[in-house]
Copies of this chain bind each other. A is one copy, B any other.
Amino acid sequence: MRTGITPGEALRTILDETPVLAPETVAVREAQGRILAASVVSERTLPPADNSAMDGYAVRVADTGGAGPGSPVELRVAFEVAAGGAADADVGPGQAARVLTGAPIPTGADAVVRQEDTELEGDRLRVLVAPAPHEHIRDAGEDVRVGDRVLEPGAAIGPPHLGLLASLGRATIPVHQRPRVAILSGGDELVEPDGDVAGGRIVSSNSYSIAAQCREIGADPVYLGIARDTPEDVERHFRAGLRADVLVSSAGVSVGDRDYVRGVLEKLGCQLLFWGVKMKPGYPLAFGRFGRIEGSGGESGPLVFGLPGNPVSAMVTFEEFVRPALRKMIGHRELYRPLVRARLGETLRKKAGRLHFVRVGLAREDGRVVASSTGNQSSGVLRSMTRAAGLLIFPADATELAAGTEAEVQVLDPDFLASDRPGF
Protein backbone atom coordinates (compact mmCIF):
# COMPACT_ATOMS: atom_id res chain seq x y z
CA MET A 1 0.00 0.00 0.00
CA ARG A 2 1.31 3.41 -0.96
CA THR A 3 1.28 6.20 1.57
CA GLY A 4 1.90 9.94 1.55
CA ILE A 5 0.94 10.33 -2.12
CA THR A 6 -0.12 13.55 -3.85
CA PRO A 7 -3.77 14.47 -4.46
CA GLY A 8 -3.19 14.00 -8.19
CA GLU A 9 -1.82 10.49 -7.68
CA ALA A 10 -4.72 9.66 -5.38
CA LEU A 11 -7.28 10.83 -7.92
CA ARG A 12 -5.70 8.88 -10.77
CA THR A 13 -5.57 5.72 -8.67
CA ILE A 14 -9.25 6.10 -7.75
CA LEU A 15 -10.51 6.85 -11.27
CA ASP A 16 -8.52 3.91 -12.69
CA GLU A 17 -10.51 1.62 -10.38
CA THR A 18 -13.89 3.30 -10.97
CA PRO A 19 -16.26 1.70 -13.48
CA VAL A 20 -18.99 3.45 -15.45
CA LEU A 21 -22.11 1.69 -14.18
CA ALA A 22 -24.16 -0.56 -16.45
CA PRO A 23 -27.42 0.70 -17.97
CA GLU A 24 -30.87 0.24 -16.55
CA THR A 25 -34.20 1.01 -18.22
CA VAL A 26 -36.24 3.67 -16.45
CA ALA A 27 -39.59 5.35 -17.06
CA VAL A 28 -39.12 8.62 -18.92
CA ARG A 29 -40.99 10.45 -16.15
CA GLU A 30 -38.32 9.30 -13.65
CA ALA A 31 -35.38 10.04 -15.93
CA GLN A 32 -34.72 13.72 -15.19
CA GLY A 33 -31.05 14.32 -14.44
CA ARG A 34 -29.96 10.84 -15.53
CA ILE A 35 -27.31 10.18 -18.20
CA LEU A 36 -28.44 8.43 -21.36
CA ALA A 37 -26.63 5.10 -21.92
CA ALA A 38 -27.60 4.50 -25.57
CA SER A 39 -28.94 6.43 -28.55
CA VAL A 40 -32.65 7.15 -28.84
CA VAL A 41 -33.95 6.49 -32.36
CA SER A 42 -37.27 7.96 -33.40
CA GLU A 43 -40.16 5.79 -34.55
CA ARG A 44 -42.20 8.90 -35.40
CA THR A 45 -42.16 11.87 -37.74
CA LEU A 46 -42.52 15.26 -36.01
CA PRO A 47 -44.54 17.17 -36.90
CA PRO A 48 -46.50 14.26 -38.37
CA ALA A 49 -47.91 16.32 -41.29
CA ASP A 50 -47.40 19.69 -42.97
CA ASN A 51 -49.29 22.07 -40.70
CA SER A 52 -50.07 25.69 -40.15
CA ALA A 53 -47.69 27.82 -38.11
CA MET A 54 -50.41 30.49 -37.67
CA ASP A 55 -54.12 31.00 -37.21
CA GLY A 56 -55.26 31.92 -40.72
CA TYR A 57 -56.24 30.49 -44.07
CA ALA A 58 -54.70 27.82 -46.26
CA VAL A 59 -54.66 29.09 -49.85
CA ARG A 60 -53.28 28.36 -53.31
CA VAL A 61 -50.39 30.75 -54.04
CA ALA A 62 -51.40 30.81 -57.71
CA ASP A 63 -54.73 32.40 -56.67
CA THR A 64 -53.26 35.19 -54.56
CA GLY A 65 -50.60 36.75 -56.80
CA GLY A 66 -50.65 40.54 -56.59
CA ALA A 67 -52.82 40.66 -53.49
CA GLY A 68 -52.22 43.80 -51.41
CA PRO A 69 -54.06 46.16 -49.09
CA GLY A 70 -55.24 48.22 -52.06
CA SER A 71 -55.90 45.20 -54.30
CA PRO A 72 -57.34 42.40 -52.18
CA VAL A 73 -57.88 38.97 -53.75
CA GLU A 74 -61.23 37.43 -52.88
CA LEU A 75 -61.53 33.70 -52.10
CA ARG A 76 -64.32 31.53 -50.75
CA VAL A 77 -63.77 29.78 -47.38
CA ALA A 78 -64.82 26.27 -48.35
CA PHE A 79 -64.23 24.46 -45.04
CA GLU A 80 -62.30 24.55 -41.77
CA VAL A 81 -59.58 22.20 -40.53
CA ALA A 82 -59.55 21.82 -36.77
CA ALA A 83 -56.20 21.62 -35.01
CA GLY A 84 -56.66 17.97 -34.12
CA GLY A 85 -58.62 17.12 -37.23
CA ALA A 86 -57.73 15.57 -40.55
CA ALA A 87 -57.89 17.59 -43.75
CA ASP A 88 -60.10 15.30 -45.83
CA ALA A 89 -61.30 17.93 -48.33
CA ASP A 90 -59.14 19.64 -50.96
CA VAL A 91 -58.70 23.36 -51.49
CA GLY A 92 -59.80 23.99 -55.06
CA PRO A 93 -59.09 27.02 -57.27
CA GLY A 94 -60.59 30.19 -55.77
CA GLN A 95 -61.00 28.51 -52.42
CA ALA A 96 -59.41 28.85 -48.96
CA ALA A 97 -59.62 26.72 -45.81
CA ARG A 98 -59.75 28.13 -42.32
CA VAL A 99 -56.80 26.68 -40.30
CA LEU A 100 -55.80 27.13 -36.67
CA THR A 101 -52.18 26.87 -35.57
CA GLY A 102 -51.11 23.26 -35.82
CA ALA A 103 -53.89 22.21 -38.21
CA PRO A 104 -52.79 19.99 -41.10
CA ILE A 105 -52.60 21.73 -44.47
CA PRO A 106 -55.26 20.37 -46.84
CA THR A 107 -54.30 19.08 -50.27
CA GLY A 108 -54.23 21.79 -52.91
CA ALA A 109 -53.15 24.58 -50.57
CA ASP A 110 -49.47 25.62 -50.64
CA ALA A 111 -49.31 28.60 -48.25
CA VAL A 112 -51.03 30.07 -45.21
CA VAL A 113 -52.20 33.69 -44.98
CA ARG A 114 -52.25 35.03 -41.42
CA GLN A 115 -55.66 35.98 -40.06
CA GLU A 116 -54.49 39.58 -39.53
CA ASP A 117 -53.63 39.81 -43.23
CA THR A 118 -57.24 39.08 -44.28
CA GLU A 119 -60.78 40.40 -43.96
CA LEU A 120 -63.73 38.02 -43.68
CA GLU A 121 -67.39 38.67 -44.53
CA GLY A 122 -69.58 35.56 -44.39
CA ASP A 123 -67.60 32.99 -46.37
CA ARG A 124 -65.95 35.70 -48.49
CA LEU A 125 -62.28 36.15 -47.61
CA ARG A 126 -60.28 39.15 -48.77
CA VAL A 127 -56.54 38.37 -48.84
CA LEU A 128 -54.58 41.60 -48.23
CA VAL A 129 -51.04 40.21 -48.42
CA ALA A 130 -49.78 37.82 -51.12
CA PRO A 131 -48.08 34.84 -49.44
CA ALA A 132 -44.82 33.36 -50.70
CA PRO A 133 -44.99 29.67 -51.64
CA HIS A 134 -44.90 27.60 -48.47
CA GLU A 135 -45.27 30.64 -46.18
CA HIS A 136 -46.35 29.84 -42.57
CA ILE A 137 -46.33 26.11 -43.30
CA ARG A 138 -44.31 23.85 -41.00
CA ASP A 139 -43.06 20.82 -42.86
CA ALA A 140 -43.78 17.29 -41.77
CA GLY A 141 -40.54 15.93 -40.30
CA GLU A 142 -39.07 19.40 -39.74
CA ASP A 143 -38.06 18.34 -36.22
CA VAL A 144 -37.65 14.57 -36.45
CA ARG A 145 -38.00 11.81 -39.06
CA VAL A 146 -38.51 8.09 -38.48
CA GLY A 147 -35.10 6.50 -37.89
CA ASP A 148 -33.33 9.68 -36.77
CA ARG A 149 -30.97 9.28 -33.83
CA VAL A 150 -32.45 12.10 -31.80
CA LEU A 151 -30.46 11.76 -28.58
CA GLU A 152 -26.92 10.48 -28.14
CA PRO A 153 -25.35 8.50 -25.27
CA GLY A 154 -23.96 10.79 -22.60
CA ALA A 155 -26.81 13.32 -22.85
CA ALA A 156 -28.01 14.56 -19.46
CA ILE A 157 -31.80 14.24 -19.54
CA GLY A 158 -33.24 17.72 -18.98
CA PRO A 159 -36.50 19.51 -19.79
CA PRO A 160 -36.11 19.64 -23.60
CA HIS A 161 -35.18 15.94 -23.72
CA LEU A 162 -38.26 15.07 -21.67
CA GLY A 163 -40.44 17.15 -23.98
CA LEU A 164 -38.95 15.46 -27.04
CA LEU A 165 -39.27 11.96 -25.55
CA ALA A 166 -42.92 12.71 -24.72
CA SER A 167 -43.48 13.85 -28.31
CA LEU A 168 -41.98 10.60 -29.56
CA GLY A 169 -44.28 8.60 -27.29
CA ARG A 170 -41.33 6.97 -25.53
CA ALA A 171 -42.22 5.42 -22.19
CA THR A 172 -38.75 4.21 -21.13
CA ILE A 173 -35.11 4.96 -21.88
CA PRO A 174 -31.76 3.35 -20.99
CA VAL A 175 -29.66 5.35 -18.52
CA HIS A 176 -26.62 4.56 -16.39
CA GLN A 177 -27.46 3.17 -12.97
CA ARG A 178 -27.11 5.43 -9.97
CA PRO A 179 -24.36 4.32 -7.56
CA ARG A 180 -25.56 3.12 -4.19
CA VAL A 181 -23.29 4.57 -1.52
CA ALA A 182 -23.20 2.89 1.89
CA ILE A 183 -22.23 5.38 4.61
CA LEU A 184 -21.00 4.45 8.06
CA SER A 185 -19.34 6.08 10.98
CA GLY A 186 -18.13 4.71 14.25
CA GLY A 187 -17.06 5.45 17.77
CA ASP A 188 -18.59 5.31 21.23
CA GLU A 189 -18.56 9.13 21.35
CA LEU A 190 -21.02 9.46 18.46
CA VAL A 191 -24.79 9.89 18.71
CA GLU A 192 -27.53 10.63 16.17
CA PRO A 193 -28.78 14.26 15.97
CA ASP A 194 -31.60 13.57 18.44
CA GLY A 195 -29.24 11.81 20.89
CA ASP A 196 -27.98 12.97 24.28
CA VAL A 197 -24.73 14.93 23.95
CA ALA A 198 -23.91 15.02 27.67
CA GLY A 199 -20.42 13.86 28.70
CA GLY A 200 -18.54 14.95 25.60
CA ARG A 201 -20.57 12.96 23.09
CA ILE A 202 -21.00 14.53 19.68
CA VAL A 203 -23.39 14.10 16.78
CA SER A 204 -22.33 11.86 13.91
CA SER A 205 -22.75 14.77 11.52
CA ASN A 206 -20.52 13.40 8.76
CA SER A 207 -23.15 10.88 7.75
CA TYR A 208 -25.58 13.71 7.11
CA SER A 209 -23.24 15.90 5.12
CA ILE A 210 -21.95 12.91 3.10
CA ALA A 211 -25.49 11.70 2.34
CA ALA A 212 -26.33 15.22 1.15
CA GLN A 213 -23.19 15.29 -1.03
CA CYS A 214 -24.38 12.02 -2.60
CA ARG A 215 -27.92 13.26 -3.25
CA GLU A 216 -26.62 16.51 -4.73
CA ILE A 217 -25.16 14.63 -7.70
CA GLY A 218 -27.82 11.94 -7.99
CA ALA A 219 -26.11 9.09 -6.12
CA ASP A 220 -28.19 7.02 -3.74
CA PRO A 221 -27.00 7.09 -0.10
CA VAL A 222 -27.70 4.23 2.30
CA TYR A 223 -26.88 5.17 5.88
CA LEU A 224 -25.70 2.17 7.90
CA GLY A 225 -25.59 3.98 11.24
CA ILE A 226 -22.94 4.23 13.93
CA ALA A 227 -20.69 1.25 14.65
CA ARG A 228 -19.62 0.86 18.28
CA ASP A 229 -15.91 0.62 19.14
CA THR A 230 -15.53 -3.15 18.83
CA PRO A 231 -14.14 -5.18 15.95
CA GLU A 232 -17.37 -7.21 15.88
CA ASP A 233 -19.66 -4.21 15.50
CA VAL A 234 -17.38 -2.57 12.94
CA GLU A 235 -17.30 -5.80 10.91
CA ARG A 236 -21.10 -6.12 11.10
CA HIS A 237 -21.50 -2.57 9.76
CA PHE A 238 -19.02 -3.02 6.92
CA ARG A 239 -20.69 -6.30 5.95
CA ALA A 240 -24.02 -4.48 5.66
CA GLY A 241 -22.49 -2.28 2.95
CA LEU A 242 -20.79 -4.92 0.82
CA ARG A 243 -23.51 -4.94 -1.85
CA ALA A 244 -23.27 -1.20 -2.38
CA ASP A 245 -21.24 0.24 -5.25
CA VAL A 246 -19.24 2.45 -2.91
CA LEU A 247 -18.56 2.23 0.82
CA VAL A 248 -17.74 5.49 2.58
CA SER A 249 -16.59 5.37 6.17
CA SER A 250 -15.55 8.22 8.39
CA ALA A 251 -15.05 9.08 12.05
CA GLY A 252 -13.88 6.04 13.93
CA VAL A 253 -14.16 3.51 11.15
CA SER A 254 -11.42 4.98 9.00
CA VAL A 255 -8.17 3.13 8.60
CA GLY A 256 -6.28 5.65 10.68
CA ASP A 257 -8.70 5.85 13.56
CA ARG A 258 -8.72 2.50 15.28
CA ASP A 259 -6.07 -0.16 14.90
CA TYR A 260 -8.51 -2.94 14.13
CA VAL A 261 -10.41 -1.25 11.27
CA ARG A 262 -7.71 -2.19 8.80
CA GLY A 263 -7.79 -5.77 10.06
CA VAL A 264 -11.57 -5.94 9.62
CA LEU A 265 -11.33 -4.59 6.06
CA GLU A 266 -8.61 -7.08 5.13
CA LYS A 267 -10.56 -9.95 6.67
CA LEU A 268 -13.55 -8.98 4.50
CA GLY A 269 -11.40 -9.03 1.36
CA CYS A 270 -10.61 -5.36 0.89
CA GLN A 271 -7.34 -4.50 -0.81
CA LEU A 272 -6.13 -1.10 0.35
CA LEU A 273 -4.42 0.85 -2.44
CA PHE A 274 -3.26 3.90 -0.52
CA TRP A 275 -3.42 5.61 2.84
CA GLY A 276 -2.41 9.22 3.44
CA VAL A 277 -2.64 12.04 0.88
CA LYS A 278 -0.45 15.14 1.11
CA MET A 279 -3.29 17.63 1.51
CA LYS A 280 -4.99 19.68 4.19
CA PRO A 281 -7.65 19.23 5.35
CA GLY A 282 -7.77 15.51 4.84
CA TYR A 283 -4.40 13.77 5.11
CA PRO A 284 -5.70 10.46 6.56
CA LEU A 285 -7.67 9.34 3.50
CA ALA A 286 -7.64 5.65 2.60
CA PHE A 287 -8.84 4.02 -0.62
CA GLY A 288 -9.31 0.40 -1.52
CA ARG A 289 -11.53 -2.03 -3.31
CA PHE A 290 -13.19 -5.27 -2.46
CA GLY A 291 -12.80 -8.34 -4.60
CA ARG A 292 -15.83 -10.09 -5.99
CA ILE A 293 -18.57 -10.42 -3.35
CA GLU A 294 -20.25 -13.85 -3.24
CA GLY A 295 -23.83 -13.54 -4.47
CA SER A 296 -23.63 -9.84 -5.34
CA GLY A 297 -23.75 -10.39 -9.10
CA GLY A 298 -21.06 -7.78 -9.64
CA GLU A 299 -17.61 -8.48 -11.08
CA SER A 300 -16.00 -6.84 -8.13
CA GLY A 301 -17.06 -5.55 -4.75
CA PRO A 302 -17.46 -1.95 -3.72
CA LEU A 303 -14.84 0.76 -3.81
CA VAL A 304 -13.98 1.82 -0.26
CA PHE A 305 -13.21 5.35 0.82
CA GLY A 306 -12.01 5.71 4.39
CA LEU A 307 -12.52 9.43 4.93
CA PRO A 308 -10.99 11.31 7.85
CA GLY A 309 -13.25 11.85 10.85
CA ASN A 310 -13.07 15.63 11.13
CA PRO A 311 -16.18 17.15 9.57
CA VAL A 312 -14.44 19.42 7.08
CA SER A 313 -11.80 16.81 6.21
CA ALA A 314 -14.59 14.33 5.46
CA MET A 315 -16.44 16.83 3.26
CA VAL A 316 -13.35 17.99 1.37
CA THR A 317 -12.02 14.49 0.68
CA PHE A 318 -15.50 13.47 -0.52
CA GLU A 319 -15.55 16.56 -2.73
CA GLU A 320 -12.12 15.94 -4.25
CA PHE A 321 -12.17 12.15 -4.64
CA VAL A 322 -15.55 10.50 -4.06
CA ARG A 323 -17.56 13.02 -6.09
CA PRO A 324 -15.55 12.62 -9.33
CA ALA A 325 -15.68 8.83 -8.93
CA LEU A 326 -19.47 8.89 -8.47
CA ARG A 327 -19.88 11.22 -11.46
CA LYS A 328 -17.83 8.81 -13.57
CA MET A 329 -20.05 5.89 -12.43
CA ILE A 330 -23.20 7.87 -13.33
CA GLY A 331 -21.88 8.44 -16.86
CA HIS A 332 -20.82 12.09 -16.71
CA ARG A 333 -17.94 13.13 -18.93
CA GLU A 334 -17.09 16.32 -17.03
CA LEU A 335 -16.21 15.13 -13.55
CA TYR A 336 -15.07 18.28 -11.77
CA ARG A 337 -16.42 21.49 -10.31
CA PRO A 338 -16.21 24.68 -12.33
CA LEU A 339 -12.83 26.40 -11.90
CA VAL A 340 -12.33 30.17 -11.76
CA ARG A 341 -9.16 32.21 -11.38
CA ALA A 342 -9.52 34.53 -8.41
CA ARG A 343 -7.47 37.37 -6.99
CA LEU A 344 -6.56 36.89 -3.35
CA GLY A 345 -8.17 39.42 -1.05
CA GLU A 346 -5.55 38.68 1.60
CA THR A 347 -2.16 36.96 1.89
CA LEU A 348 -2.25 33.24 2.72
CA ARG A 349 0.69 31.37 4.26
CA LYS A 350 1.44 27.75 5.06
CA LYS A 351 4.30 25.29 5.35
CA ALA A 352 5.53 23.57 2.18
CA GLY A 353 4.65 19.91 1.62
CA ARG A 354 0.89 19.59 1.50
CA LEU A 355 -1.66 21.04 -0.91
CA HIS A 356 -4.20 23.12 1.02
CA PHE A 357 -7.85 23.48 0.00
CA VAL A 358 -8.72 26.87 1.49
CA ARG A 359 -12.41 27.63 2.20
CA VAL A 360 -13.07 30.97 0.51
CA GLY A 361 -15.89 33.38 -0.13
CA LEU A 362 -16.07 34.74 -3.67
CA ALA A 363 -17.07 38.23 -4.76
CA ARG A 364 -16.98 40.08 -8.07
CA GLU A 365 -15.16 43.41 -8.08
CA ASP A 366 -14.60 45.35 -11.32
CA GLY A 367 -15.32 42.25 -13.36
CA ARG A 368 -12.76 40.12 -11.50
CA VAL A 369 -13.32 37.43 -8.92
CA VAL A 370 -11.87 38.06 -5.47
CA ALA A 371 -11.40 35.22 -2.97
CA SER A 372 -11.16 35.68 0.79
CA SER A 373 -10.86 33.10 3.55
CA THR A 374 -14.16 32.36 5.32
CA GLY A 375 -12.37 32.27 8.66
CA ASN A 376 -10.97 29.55 10.91
CA GLN A 377 -9.60 26.85 8.60
CA SER A 378 -9.38 24.17 11.28
CA SER A 379 -10.67 20.87 9.96
CA GLY A 380 -13.21 20.78 12.78
CA VAL A 381 -14.87 24.06 11.85
CA LEU A 382 -17.90 23.34 9.65
CA ARG A 383 -19.08 26.89 9.96
CA SER A 384 -16.39 28.23 7.63
CA MET A 385 -17.44 25.49 5.21
CA THR A 386 -21.07 26.68 5.19
CA ARG A 387 -19.83 30.10 4.11
CA ALA A 388 -17.44 28.81 1.45
CA ALA A 389 -18.42 29.52 -2.14
CA GLY A 390 -15.29 27.71 -3.24
CA LEU A 391 -12.09 25.86 -2.36
CA LEU A 392 -8.92 27.72 -3.29
CA ILE A 393 -6.00 25.57 -4.36
CA PHE A 394 -2.85 26.47 -2.42
CA PRO A 395 -0.21 24.29 -4.13
CA ALA A 396 1.85 21.85 -2.08
CA ASP A 397 5.22 23.54 -2.62
CA ALA A 398 4.01 27.11 -2.17
CA THR A 399 4.41 28.78 1.23
CA GLU A 400 2.77 32.12 0.45
CA LEU A 401 0.07 33.40 -1.86
CA ALA A 402 0.30 37.17 -1.70
CA ALA A 403 -2.75 39.43 -1.62
CA GLY A 404 -3.53 40.59 -5.15
CA THR A 405 -2.04 37.56 -6.92
CA GLU A 406 -4.23 34.96 -8.59
CA ALA A 407 -5.06 31.38 -7.70
CA GLU A 408 -7.44 28.74 -8.98
CA VAL A 409 -10.69 28.13 -7.11
CA GLN A 410 -13.10 25.20 -7.38
CA VAL A 411 -16.60 26.71 -7.27
CA LEU A 412 -18.88 24.89 -4.80
CA ASP A 413 -21.82 27.31 -4.79
CA PRO A 414 -23.80 27.22 -8.05
CA ASP A 415 -25.42 30.53 -7.11
CA PHE A 416 -22.02 32.21 -7.38
CA LEU A 417 -22.13 31.48 -11.11
CA ALA A 418 -25.79 32.53 -11.39
CA SER A 419 -26.25 36.03 -12.68
CA ASP A 420 -27.90 39.03 -11.06
CA ARG A 421 -29.06 40.27 -14.47
CA PRO A 422 -30.87 38.46 -17.27
CA GLY A 423 -28.53 39.55 -20.08
CA PHE A 424 -31.23 41.56 -21.94
Contact = CB atoms under 8 A, between A and B. Distances in A.
Given A336-B419, A336-B421, A420-B336, A388 B102 contact: no
B138 A378 contact: yes
A411 B155 CA distance: 16
Interface stretch (A199-207, A232-240, A264-272): A199-207
A252 interface: yes
A203 B29 CA distance: 15
B418 A85 contact: no
Interface string A389-405: 00001010000000000
Contacts of A383: 143-144, 150, 164
B166 A83 contact: no
Contact of A200 (B84, B161, B211, B355): B84
B82 A188 contact: yes
Interface string A1-18: 000000110010000000
Interface in A39-66: 44, 46-49, 51, 53, 55
A345 interface: no
Interface stretch (A69-77, A120-128, A167-175, A241-249): A167-175
A381 to B, nearest CB: 5
Contact of A203 (B104, B166, B188): B166
A148 B153 CA distance: 49
A117 interface: no
A193 B169 contact: yes
A111 interface: no
Interface stretch (A89-97, A176-184, A212-220, A292-300): A212-220
Contacts of A302: none
B48 A315 contact: no
A151 B384 CA distance: 11
A86 interface: yes
Contact of A339 (B187, B216, B419): B419
Contacts of A104: 200
Nearest to A327: B418
Nearest to A88: B199
25 contacts: A11-B422, A32-B215, A46-B202, A82-B188, A83-B252, A84-B190, A85-B188, A85-B199, A142-B376, A143-B383, A144-B383, A156-B413, A159-B315, A160-B388, A163-B208, A163-B385, A167-B193, A169-B194, A320-B422, A336-B420, A336-B421, A336-B422, A338-B418, A339-B419, A414-B414
Given A168-B203, A320-B424, 20 more contacts: A28-B193, A32-B216, A82-B188, A86-B199, A87-B200, A101-B309, A103-B200, A138-B378, A151-B386, A158-B413, A159-B212, A163-B205, A163-B206, A163-B311, A166-B204, A169-B197, A332-B415, A335-B420, A355-B424, A393-B424
Interface of A: 7-8, 11, 28-29, 32, 44, 46-49, 51, 53, 55, 82-87, 100-104, 138, 142-144, 150-151, 155-156, 158-171, 187-190, 193-194, 197, 199-213, 215-216, 229, 252, 257, 309, 311, 315, 320, 324, 332-339, 355, 376, 378, 380-383, 385-386, 388, 393, 395, 408-415, 417-424
